[in-house]
Amino acid sequence: MGWNETPYQPGDGEHRASAKTADPIRDLESLSPLLLNPDLRSVVADSFSSEKWDIVEEIIAAAERLRDTTRWDDEELLRRLGCRVRSFDDFRAVELDRLQNCSAFLSLVNELTDVVGPVDQQREVVRVCVDLLEDRTAASAVDLRLLLVLEADQWSAAESMRLGEISRAARLVRSLAGATRSTERRTGAHPFAGAAAVHLSTPRIDLYVAREVAVLGVDVDDRITAHLGSCSACRDAVQTRAVQLRSMT
């Protein structure tokens, strides 16, 4: 079989994994030899269709950007993304729509790491995104993006992320995914029911009150300030906590 041919799969069409159900981590894993060995890229480029190779290059660029952001080396990044290093031949079989899904996933992770503050938060974003895919909370990169931006009660997981509340954002995504699965649609129900009306966690409020801007990240700190201007629940929580902290010292 030629390198560019799609392998035959029984039940083609109906049961074949599409981008909707594809696992971008496994597909990235298949590309790991290309990520780890730049010299290999020019050797194998001709074995891909140009359309496919364009996406492979996008994936490589996105992975390199994420490596620089997180300050992990290539191997550590792949490990943190949940990839085992695979053999030389696997990557040629990855289909175009799966490459696109893989590229979309890395782009999303890059966008989200740009939003949060210091490197420990950026690494946390990588971990959370991988977890949400690996535990099938999100079926694809597109699904994950949708779950992040979907608003319920005028709030979204992406908004939590922007305030540096990364694990809370993941909880919201899980809650939303569970709700949409049971209702089979992306709106209605109360996916954030049980989520606190206060959007900031106590540890983050404490950091904010203590003016630990470097820990929060300058942009996150600015966003929290802006958020407090428009959200009375969080403003009250911060004021209450400031009083508590003052009385403790």
Footprint of Zn ion (CB under 5 A): 199, 231, 234
Q: Could you tell me the smallest distance in angstroms from the CB atom of residue 209 to Zn ion?
A: 15
Q: Could you tell me the smallest distance in angstroms from the CB atom of residue 187 to Zn ion?
A: 22
Q: Could you tell me the smallest distance in angstroms from the CB atom of residue 163 to Zn ion?
A: 8
Q: Which is nearer to Zn ion, 109 or 176 (CB)?
A: 176
Could you count the other beta carbons within 10 Å of the beta carbon of residue 201? 17
Q: Which is nearer to Zn ion, 26 or 168 (CB)?
A: 168
| Tokens representing residue 246 in the block | 């003052």
Backbone angles phi, psi at 152, to 5 degrees: -140, 135
Q: Could you tell me the smallest distance in angstroms from the CB atom of residue 152 to Zn ion?
A: 14
Q: Which is nearer to Zn ion, 56 or 231 (CB)?
A: 231
| Tokens representing residue 106 in the block | 């890395």
Q: Which is nearer to Zn ion, 129 or 234 (CB)?
A: 234
Distance CA 94, CA 104 (A): 15
The answer for 51, left when phi > 0, alpha when psi is -120 to 50, beta otherwise, is alpha
Does residue 80 contact residue 72 with C-beta atoms inside 8 Å?
yes
Residue type, 161: M
Q: Which residue has the tokens 């990240």?
A: 217
